[in-house]
Amino acid sequence: MKTLTIRKGSQLVIKTIRSVFLLALIISVPIAARSQCLETEPAAVTLTGTIYAKNFPGPPNFESIRSGDERMRYWIFRLDKPICVEGDSFDNTSAFNVRDLQLAFPDGSFYTQYRRDVREHRRFKVTGSLFHRNTGHHVTNILVSVKTLTPFRK
């Protein structure tokens, strides 16, 4: 009878250790995933992918071009691989599995300089800072404030 009690006690200890280990593992996975997330501005990142132009509804309601909203055309950067982005001062929530980024340019020269490369579906290397959407003009959850844009030419 004593042997059975010891065995039951040992099984309880093993189950407790296993439960603690699993709990620690479950808690550490999001922390590990977060540590692999890219930082938002002012940190600079360099990413690769393709750029495409897409129309979105703009003012006054940001709902429907057919219903009278202004047509807003933005360049979207489609990443080669999805990324995770940490929260920022506007939105403290991390964004996971981010595949599309709206490009935010300092001026309109990028559009004229790279329009042909975008039409030819070239891949690009983009360097800039990531930030979370914070206005109706932002059409993706994460945007990149572009510092440099380099097409991969054949």
* Alpha helix ranges (H) inside 2-135: 2-35, 109-119
Q: Taking residues 26-55, what's their average pLDDT?
A: 80
Residue 82: pLDDT band with limits 50, 70, 90: very high
Give the number of C-alpha atoms closer than 13 A to the C-alpha of residue 14, restricted to the C-beta side.
6
Domain with residues 45-151, CATH architecture: Beta Barrel (2.40)
Look at 34 and 58; give whichever has higher pLDDT: 58
- pLDDT tens sequence across 128-154: 999 999 998 999 999 999 999 999 976
pLDDT digits (tens, 9 = 90+) for 85-121: 999 888 899 999 999 999 999 999 999 999 999 999 9
Q: Can you tell me the distance from the alpha carbon of 9 to that of 3, in angstroms, rounded to the nearest whole number?
A: 10
What tokens appear for 22 in the block?
């699993």
The owner of tokens 């979105």 is 56
Q: How far is 108 from 130, CA to CA, in rounded Å?
A: 19
- Which of 6-10, 22-26, 27-31, 80-84: highest mean pLDDT? 80-84
pLDDT of residue 29: 46
Span 63-78, mean pLDDT? 94
Specify the pLDDT at position 33.
Answer: 44
Instruction: Give the pLDDT of residue 145.
Output: 97
CA–CA gap between residue 108 and residue 102 (Å, rounded): 15
Structure tokens at 136: 């109706």
Q: How many whole angstroms separate alpha carbon 85 and alpha carbon 43?
A: 11
Q: How many angstroms separate the CA atoms of 121 and 50, rounded?
A: 7
**What gap in Å lies between CA 38 and CA 129, rounded to an integer?**
10
State yes or no: pLDDT of 127 exceeds 70.
Answer: yes
The 3-state DSSP class for residue 24 equals: helix
Q: Would you list the domain boundaries of the chain?
A: 1-35, 45-151
